[in-house]
């Protein structure tokens, strides 16, 4: 089973009266997610509005989604409860 893990890399704020979000990222952190395609380097990230601004007033978060393969064999399956009534 495939899932996505969010690697948080920064935060930002909405620019007043514009559809622009200004984010701040650490260079060392974002370079971990650089990849090559057709001889060019890229970093793909996502910016999302947080449910509530943090204590510094930042309203958005930036993250890199990484696809992960989940090991189904090692996952514990939930036990099913029997719907049959016990007889005395």
* pLDDT tens digits, 9-59: 999 999 999 999 999 999 999 999 999 999 999 999 999 999 999 999 999
Q: For residue 84, is pLDDT > 80?
A: no
Distances (CA, A) of 84 to 24, 74, 80, 81, 87: 58, 29, 12, 9, 9
Q: Which residue in this structure is represented by tokens 């309203």?
A: 59
Model pTM score: 0.67
In tens, the pLDDT along 65-77 reads 988 776 655 555 5
């Amino acid at each position: 089973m495939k899932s996505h893990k969010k690697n948080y890399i920064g935060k930002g704020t909405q620019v007043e009266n514009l559809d622009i979000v200004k984010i701040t990222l650490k260079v060392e952190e974002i370079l971990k997610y650089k990849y090559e395609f057709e001889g060019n380097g890229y970093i793909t990230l996502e910016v999302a509005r947080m449910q509530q601004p943090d204590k510094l007033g930042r309203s958005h978060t930036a993250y890199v989604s990484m696809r992960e393969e989940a090991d189904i064999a090692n996952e514990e399956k939930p036990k099913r409860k029997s719907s049959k009534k016990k007889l005395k």
